Structure 1
Amino acid sequence: MTESTRRPVASLWIGERLQYLNQLCLLSHVQQGHPTTLYCTETVENVPEGVTVRPASEIMDIPMNIVEETSASFLSNVFRYHMIRRTDAVWIDCDAFCHRPFPDEGDHIYAGHGFRGALNCGVVKIPREGELIARLLDYYENLPDYPAWWNKNQRKKLDRLDKKQPELPHAVKIYKAERTSFGPQAFTYFAQQTGDYDRAMTPDTLYPVPFQLNDTFYDPHGRVEGWFTEQTLSVHLYTNGTRPWWRKHVPLENSYAWRMARQVGVDPAKALE
């Protein structure tokens, strides 16, 4: 491991156990010299050595009743901006592999992803004070009846939920009507409103492999690195979109996931789903 001398990075884990992809991604930041903190809602039994564990409550309380109605990653969309405001660290999803160190300075680390041009917030650093973070936090803390960017069909879907399940918290109804309304959709919309959209890095910097092709990470004959450029800093592995088979079996020899596990010293067999 290299001595941690670079800017800090941090993430959130809701649950008791990491999968091997999460272990190797967190360790990749440690090996690149980034002090790496994992905020946890409970005791996690297999956090890799070198990763600092802190209680998530240091940043914000996690309403577990909402997590149970949505997903473990849902509240992370709120948590990351509170974390940035409090600590000024770079947010990293637990499935983002550090290919090269992040720049030592700069408050605009985020990029578009996939084929649609929307911004992703899987790796993100924005100014801890300013219009963008203020608008994002205000959106989460004072949810509107409908997100401003929703179309007529999305609004109708929420209206149907209101009638069928009026007891659900409003945040849960928004999630069920449009899953990414707390994540990339919100980040893209408010960055457009504040003019920060134009500061985004190109997709090859943080999301070189499109989400739609994430099976490539497990293909022993694939050429994942063919997507990389000289600008690539992070490689998103998209565990939410990974087929269940890959989460329950060790990666095939010579696949990208297998090679990166060997590179950082993770045994996938000890942390399968």
Structure 2
Amino acid sequence: MSSPQRRPVASLWIGERLQYLNQLCLASHVQQGHQTILYTTHKVENVPEGVEVRDANDVMAIDLELVQGTSASFWSNVFRYKMIKKDDAIWIDCDAFCHRPFPDEMDNIFAGHGMRGALNCGVVKIPREGELIDMLLDYYDNLPDYPPWFNKNQRKKLDRQKDDVPHSEKIYKAERTAFGPQAFTYFAQQTGDYDKAMTPDVLYPVPFQLNDIFYDPHGRVEGWFTDNTLSVHLYTNGTKPWWRKNPPLENSYAWRMCQQVGIDPKQALE
């Protein structure tokens, strides 16, 4: 592993054990020379060498009961902007592989994703001072009755939630991405930052719908890359159970990257 020389990147892990793809992605940033920080809620037993572990409470308290009613990704959507405000680091999901180092001069690192014009926030860096981060943090800290972009059907779904459920959980259950891409896209549109988005090939070169290609020994994953590609999202939330419970096939992209970074998948299967 390289000694950290480049700007810091950071992520959050809620749980006690990383899966091999998460190890791979974190270690890839270390290998590319980034100071790599993993905030945790528990003692994690298999953090890759070179990753700096910190207490998530240093950024914000994580309500583990609310995690049960929502998801770990729900909390990461709030955590990432509070982390940027505190550390001025680049947020990376634990399934974002570092293809090339992030240039030091980039202060707006986010990209469009898919075909609907939405922004993704799996890898994101915005200025720690400014209208966009202020609007995002205000949204999370002072949740409205309905997110301002909710349509009539989304509002009805929220209204059908049980009265004793926390309001944030109601919003999450009405629209799973209301704290992630939907919020980021909406507020970036309000501030004019939407136009600063990179093209998908920079951070999300392979479409989510094709994520099986990472495990195909005959797949041409690199055919999706361009000279601008910095990060490759592996979409572990869409990974089929087989690939979480079995090592990748030899010569697949996942296998080759594990070889390159020095991760043994057999040691961290689900």
For residues 118 and 142 of structure 2, what CA distance do their matches in structure 1 show? 24
2:256 corresponds, among 249, 256, 259, to: 259
Count matched residues.
270
> Quick check: 228-237 or 144-153, which moved more?
144-153
**In 2, are the aligned partners of 1:114 and 1:212 still within 8 Å (CA)?**
no
- The yes-or-no answer on 1:128 pairing with 2:128 is yes
1:209 corresponds, among 198, 206, 209, to: 206
| Matching of residues 184-203 of structure 1 within 5 Å | 184-203=181-200
Q: What secondary structure, in the 3-state scheme, does the structure 2 residue paired with 1:115 have? A: coil
**In 2, are the aligned partners of 1:249 and 1:272 still within 8 Å (CA)?**
yes
The structural deviation recorded for 1:4 is 1.3
The structural deviation recorded for 1:244 is 1.0
Q: Deviations over 1:206-246 (max 9, x none)?
A: 00001111111111110000000000000000001111111
- Report runs of 4+ in structure 1 exceeding 6 Å deviation: none
Whichever residue aligns with residue 272 of structure 1, its letter is: L
Q: What secondary structure, in the 3-state scheme, does the structure 1 residue paired with 2:127 have? A: coil
For residues 115 and 238 of structure 2, what CA distance do their matches in structure 1 show? 16
- The yes-or-no answer on 1:69 pairing with 2:99 is no
- The yes-or-no answer on 1:160 pairing with 2:157 is no
In structure 2, the partner of 1:105 is 105
Whichever residue aligns with residue 3 of structure 1, its letter is: S
For residues 220 and 74 of structure 1, what CA distance do their matches in structure 2 show? 33
In structure 2, the partner of 1:242 is 239
Q: What secondary structure, in the 3-state scheme, does the structure 2 residue paired with 1:179 have? A: coil
For residues 106 and 235 of structure 1, what CA distance do their matches in structure 2 show? 18
Q: What secondary structure, in the 3-state scheme, does the structure 2 residue paired with 1:23 have? A: helix
Whichever residue aligns with residue 194 of structure 1, its letter is: T
| Matching of residues 1-273 of structure 1 within 5 Å | 1-161=1-161, 165-273=162-270
The structural deviation recorded for 1:3 is 2.4
The structural deviation recorded for 1:64 is 1.0
What TM-score do you get using the length of structure 2 for normalisation?
A: 0.99
Q: What secondary structure, in the 3-state scheme, does the structure 1 residue paired with 2:39 have? A: strand
Whichever residue aligns with residue 68 of structure 1, its letter is: Q
For residues 79 and 235 of structure 1, what CA distance do their matches in structure 2 show? 22
For residues 73 and 191 of structure 1, what CA distance do their matches in structure 2 show? 20
Whichever residue aligns with residue 231 of structure 2, its letter is: S
What TM-score do you get using the length of structure 1 for normalisation?
A: 0.98
Q: What secondary structure, in the 3-state scheme, does the structure 1 residue paired with 2:110 have? A: strand
The structural deviation recorded for 1:2 is 2.1
For residues 130 and 65 of structure 1, what CA distance do their matches in structure 2 show? 32
Q: What secondary structure, in the 3-state scheme, does the structure 2 residue paired with 1:75 have? A: helix
The structural deviation recorded for 1:118 is 0.6
For residues 42 and 55 of structure 2, what CA distance do their matches in structure 1 show? 8
The structural deviation recorded for 1:43 is 0.1
The structural deviation recorded for 1:72 is 1.5
Q: What secondary structure, in the 3-state scheme, does the structure 2 residue paired with 1:35 have? A: strand
For residues 137 and 189 of structure 1, what CA distance do their matches in structure 2 show? 13
> Quick check: 58-67 or 12-21, which moved more?
58-67
Q: What secondary structure, in the 3-state scheme, does the structure 2 residue paired with 1:176 have? A: helix
For residues 63 and 107 of structure 2, what CA distance do their matches in structure 1 show? 29
When the two chains are superposed, the root-mean-square deviation of aligned CA atoms in Å is 0.6
For residues 240 and 183 of structure 1, what CA distance do their matches in structure 2 show? 14
Q: What secondary structure, in the 3-state scheme, does the structure 1 residue paired with 2:6 have? A: coil
For residues 63 and 107 of structure 1, what CA distance do their matches in structure 2 show? 31
Whichever residue aligns with residue 24 of structure 2, its letter is: L
The structural deviation recorded for 1:106 is 2.3
Q: What secondary structure, in the 3-state scheme, does the structure 2 residue paired with 1:122 have? A: strand
